[in-house]
Amino acid sequence: MSRLILVIALVLSNAESKPTAVSKKNIEDFHLNLYKSVTATKPDDNIFLSPYSISLALSMVTGGARGKTEKELLDLLQISSRDKLDPSVKQLMDITRLPEIKLANRLYPDEKFPILPAFKQRLQKLYNITLVSADLNAKNVTPAINDINAWVSNQTDGHIKKALDKNDLAKDKLTQNALLIINCLVFDAKWKNEFQGQNTRDGNTFFPDTGPPQEKKLTLMMKNGLFPYVDLTSKIGARMIHLPFENKDFTFTIILPNKDVKLSQVESNLTSALLNTPTTNNKNIYIWIPKWKFEFESKLETVLKTKMKINDIFDSNKANLKGLSTKKKIYLSNLIHKTYVIVDEKGVRAAATSIVRIMLATATRSDVNFICNKPFLYAIRYKQTTLFMGRYVKVIDTSDMPPMIDGGRG
């Protein structure tokens, strides 16, 4: 048997005769469903995902799938037919041309594993992927792992230093490592209006949904201004704000549950349509959000199997990847997702790697206080496409984050 590992590291056709891409709603529905599936397995943990990066990585594998395996993956991605897969990928890849986004893809086949030319050409054409052969079945896989980790670290600006360890390439006498598909995504953007360092305050209390208050542990940044604001109280018991970056097409969206409403309630009722609720006007808002740095890792194969009912591709007896190789019994063994995010006064830096193995101010009555001292959901979005999505449910230590000095980074 041969194993395929997918690693995701984090950060259009207009002619009528050609197949059209799926709607943005379908893409967002998948992104939100994936987020909900992961949070269901970690209800009390901070989480940070790149649904966008995961979409790209899974679409790479889908191109080599056939039969029921292909149908399962297309249904997961909410793509109705194979002829709509590539236009959908092009739609997602268009975002990577922007200066705030850096995307790098690599294909690591084992030196002895044959890849069909059509599969390789598709990846090179659509994803601009680079192919690098490696000895994935050596007695000592450390050199290969070190090379891969060095490349991922370089592509993510040093934020993700260890995408793989030797256990990820563990094998037995009946199994061989066939292929690694690695996808690295980095987002780096400054706020349109920075949070001023002199307004940042330590020692605030955080009120989790379960357990006692976390006293004097929360660092909050503050600013006020006119921001797009949506009151979703009647829909999901929450409020939503969009903080703009210098490039106004990117936003940092925060959904804050109302008093006595738990984040899990908001998450379960949230839809892509609500996430894209239009804002008719801006509100003068005093906003307090935590300053934080966070790393997250998830082995997504369990989530995909138990929560999203994707089974065949993980089964060596059922997986059909005949569009990838002439080898038999190829299956997906791991889908490793690693992310990193910094939110501070200057802006947001986020990275993702996917590996497919195989101080309260006084406000007037018309102003709004938006105080993130309880669990909330956040997303980094390009127009109506979610690049990253996470939740803040426990205080994250900021003692190792550099202080702001005279408006600059210390």
Q: Ramachandran region of residue 261, left (φ > 0), alpha (ψ -120 to 50) or beta? A: beta
The verdict on residue 199 lying in a domain is yes
d(CA 112, CA 212): 56
Range of the domain at 159: 2-394
Q: Which has the closest alpha carbon to 319: 70, 63, 39?
A: 70
- The CATH number for 15's domain is 3.30.497.10
pLDDT attached to residue 376: 98
The verdict on residue 404 lying in a domain is no
The verdict on residue 405 lying in a domain is no
pLDDT tens figures, 133-153: 888 887 888 888 999 999 999
The verdict on residue 406 lying in a domain is no
Mean pLDDT of the chain: 85
Amino acid at 40: A
pTM over 0.75: yes
The verdict on residue 231 lying in a domain is yes
Is residue 95 within 8 A of residue 386, CB to CB? The reply is no
The verdict on residue 301 lying in a domain is yes
The verdict on residue 403 lying in a domain is no
Number of domains composing the chain: 1
The verdict on residue 256 lying in a domain is yes
Which of 104 and 252 is assigned the larger pLDDT? 252
Q: Which has the closest alpha carbon to 71: 319, 257, 240?
A: 319
328: Cβ–Cβ under 8 A, 6 or more apart, which residues? none
pLDDT attached to residue 374: 97
pLDDT confidence bin for 365, thresholds 50/70/90: very low
Averaged pLDDT, 373-394? 95
Q: Which has the closest alpha carbon to 69: 318, 366, 235?
A: 318
